[in-house]
């Protein structure tokens, strides 16, 4: 397009400019682990004692112990509600 005029735009800054945002969350990682299947998760637990997933974008590490991992494969309605008190 050598016939076209060259146009230069001012770069956007602040709230309207580009910024980093990672959309990872514990729920999204849990969904990914569910897609691996129970056998694969149990294999990782037997080998390492817990499942650790690290986000390559933001660096957050998510840890799932055997109890957390077992809860991934329970039907949503079968889990008892959590306690409202903090210990």
The structural domains of the chain, ordered by start, are 23-74 (3.90.1280.10)
Tell me how far apart the alpha carbons of residues 54 and 36 are, in angstroms, rounded to a whole number: 16
- Residues near 43 by beta carbon (within 8 Å), at least 6 away in sequence: none
Output the furthest CA–CA distance in the chain (Å, rounded).
Answer: 71
What pLDDT is stored for residue 84 in this prediction? 56
Question: What pLDDT digit, counting tens, does each position of 23-77 carry?
Answer: 999 999 999 999 999 999 999 999 999 999 999 999 999 999 999 999 999 886 6
Are 45 and 37 a contacting pair, CB within 8 Å?
no
Q: Count H helices, E strands: the chain? A: 3, 2
């Amino acid at each position: 397009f050598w016939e076209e005029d060259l146009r230069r735009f001012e770069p956007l800054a602040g709230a309207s400019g580009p910024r980093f945002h990672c959309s990872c969350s514990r729920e999204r990682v849990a969904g990914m682990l569910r897609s691996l299947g129970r056998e694969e998760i149990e294999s990782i637990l037997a080998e390492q004692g817990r499942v650790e997933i690290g986000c390559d974008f933001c660096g957050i590490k998510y840890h799932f112990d055997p109890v957390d991992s077992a809860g991934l494969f329970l039907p949503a309605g079968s889990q008892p509600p959590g306690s409202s008190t903090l210990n």
